[in-house]
């Protein structure tokens, strides 16, 4: 497996773009950033990257349209892409497609007074969706949550 090292970030909010750039660079990534989907497509004409992170809502061309165009192009179709969109509805554990025994087991674990849950799996397996559904279930105004997220490049 080849280590992922280069990222294209498309984000129209300058503050969020800068904070994201700094975080990704500190994690060891080479980052190229732009302000919208059109600029992202133009930048990828000059060279490919390992990962594209797209804001869902941007001027000129939003992240979803940019993703559609990138996936339709054989040259860029294999690039891993993530769309960050704050309008997405949080799913409940019951709506994730887990079997009933898994939902009951996870719900029971989430009710414990303390502990650690680790979501693992290959790319696009639902780790983030499962994490957010679990956090949504814990959201009660009394629960303290510490989340650790590693964006460090992997090497094998």
Q: Tens digit of pLDDT for each residue in 99-122?
A: 888 889 988 988 888 777 777 777
The pair of structure tokens assigned to 138 is 């814990």
On whether the CB atoms of residues 79 and 109 are closer than 8 A, the answer is: no
**Under a CB-based contact definition with an 8 Å cutoff, are residues 26 and 34 in contact?**
no
Pair (38, 13) in one structural domain? yes
User: Are the C-beta atoms of 28 and 153 separated by less than 8 Å?
Assistant: yes
DSSP state of 102: H
- 1 occurs within a structural domain: no
Same domain, 15 and 45: yes
pTM of the model as a whole: 0.56
Tell me the three state secondary structure of residue 31: strand
- The stretch 128-143 carries a mean pLDDT of 78
**Which residues constitute the domain of residue 136?**
89-156
**Domain stop point among 84, 116, 143:** 84
Given the structure tokens 């409940």, which residue do they identify?
Answer: 92
73/117 same-domain check? no
**DSSP secondary structure string for all residues of 131-144:** HHHHHHHH-SSS--
Q: Does residue 125 share a domain with residue 78?
A: no
Which of 35, 61, 84 is where one domain is finished? 84
pLDDT cut 70: percent of the chain above it = 83
Look up tokens 């001027």; give the residue: 59
Residue 2: which pLDDT band, with cuts at 50, 70 and 90? very low
101 CB contacts (<8 Å, ≥6 apart)?
A: none
CB atoms near residue 116 (< 10 Å): 7
Pick left, alpha or beta for residue 151 (phi over 0 → left; psi -120 to 50 → alpha; otherwise beta). Answer: alpha
Compute φ and ψ for 151, nearest 5 degrees: -110, 15
Q: Is residue 27 part of a domain?
A: yes
């Amino acid at each position: 497996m080849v280590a992922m090292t280069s990222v294209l970030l498309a984000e129209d909010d300058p503050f969020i773009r800068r904070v994201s750039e700094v975080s990704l660079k500190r994690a060891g990534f080479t980052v190229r950033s732009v302000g919208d989907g059109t600029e992202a497509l133009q930048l990828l004409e000059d060279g490919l990257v390992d990962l594209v992170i797209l804001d869902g809502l941007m001027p000129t061309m939003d992240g979803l349209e940019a993703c559609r165009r990138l996936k339709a192009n054989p040259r860029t179709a294999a690039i891993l892409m993530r769309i960050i969109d704050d309008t997405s509805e949080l799913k409940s554990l019951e709506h994730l497609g887990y079997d009933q025994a898994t939902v009951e087991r996870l719900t029971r674990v989430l009710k414990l007074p303390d502990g650690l849950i680790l979501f693992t799996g290959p790319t696009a397996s639902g780790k983030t969706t499962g994490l957010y559904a679990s956090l949504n279930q814990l959201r009660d105004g009394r629960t303290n949550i510490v989340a650790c997220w590693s964006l460090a490049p992997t090497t094998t």
